[in-house]
Amino acid sequence: MNFRDEEVLYAFGENLKKLRKKRGFSQEKLAYSSNISLSQIARIETGRINTTLCTIVKIAETLEIDPAELLSF
């Protein structure tokens, strides 16, 4: 992974965290409601993993937002 990739993953994670909190979700509630492990949510938010498009869509559906919002950072 190059430096630019790390920046993108970090920015995505920060945006997810912001949107999650805005919608009143804790990491635990998002994990439970979306059927994604808590550790995976944490790794996404900290930019440690490059999540899949399917996971992005699942998170967006759970937060009741357009997936494009997650990618607007």
Q: Does residue 20 sit within a domain?
A: yes
Q: Does residue 72 sit within a domain?
A: no
Residue 7 lies in domain: 3-62
pLDDT tens-place string over residues 47-69: 999 999 999 999 999 999 999 99
Q: Does residue 9 sit within a domain?
A: yes
If pLDDT is split at 50, 70 and 90, which confidence band does 1 have?
Answer: low
Phi, psi of 47 (to 5 degrees): 75, 20
Q: How many domains does the chain divide into? A: 1
User: What share of the chain has pLDDT > 70, as a percent?
Assistant: 97
Q: Does residue 70 sit within a domain?
A: no
1-9 average pLDDT score: 86
Q: Does residue 73 sit within a domain?
A: no
Q: Does residue 58 sit within a domain?
A: yes
The enclosing domain of 7 has a CATH number of: 1.10.260.40
